[in-house]
Amino acid sequence: MREIIKESQRIVVKVGTSTIMYSNGKINLRTIERLVRVLADLSNQGKEVILVSSGAIGVGSHKLQLKTPPVEMAEKQAIAAVGQSELMHIYSKLFGEYGHVVGQILLTRDVIDFPDSRKNVTNTFEMMLNKGIIPIVNENDTVSVNEIEHVTRFGDNDQLSAIVSEVTTADLLILLSDIDGLFDSDPNVNPNAKLISEVKEITPYIVNLAGGEGSRFGTGGMVTKIEAAKRVVNNQSRMLITNGADPYILYDLLEGKNIGTLFSNE
Question: In the chain, what's the furthest Cα-to-Cα distance?
Answer: 50
* pLDDT value at residue 182: 92
Q: Determine the structural domain holding residue 52 and report its residue range.
A: 2-263
- Whole-structure pTM value: 0.90
Into how many domains does the chain fold?
1
- CA–CA separation, 131 and 32 (whole Å): 24
Pairing relation of β-strands 10-15 and 198-199?
A: unpaired
**Known binder of ligand: residue 261?**
no
**Known binder of ligand: residue 25?**
no
**Known binder of ligand: residue 19?**
no
Please say if the pLDDT value at position 150 is more than 50. no
Selection from 107, 132, 102 nearest residue 122 by Cα: 107
Q: Yes or no: say if 242 and 259 are a contact pair by the CB < 8 Å rule.
A: yes
**Domain CATH number, residue 227:** 3.40.1160.10
pLDDT higher for 109 or 16?
Answer: 16
- CA–CA separation, 173 and 101 (whole Å): 21
**Known binder of ligand: residue 225?**
yes
**Known binder of ligand: residue 264?**
no
**What's CA 258's distance to the chain center, in Å?**
20
Return the H-helix or E-strand segment holding 32.
Answer: helix 29-44
Query: Band of the pLDDT at 3, cuts 50, 70, 90?
Result: confident
**Known binder of ligand: residue 26?**
no
What would the pLDDT profile of 218-254 be if each residue is shown by its tens digit? 334 788 899 999 999 998 899 999 999 999 999 999 9
**Known binder of ligand: residue 67?**
no
Please say if the pLDDT value at position 130 is more than 90. yes
Please say if the pLDDT value at position 195 is more than 90. yes
Return the H-helix or E-strand segment holding 244.
Answer: none
**Known binder of ligand: residue 177?**
yes
**Known binder of ligand: residue 178?**
yes
Q: Which of 81-85, 139-143, 155-159 bottoms out in mean pLDDT, i.e. has the lowest? A: 139-143
**Known binder of ligand: residue 145?**
no
**Known binder of ligand: residue 54?**
yes
The whole-number average pLDDT for the span 60-66 is 93
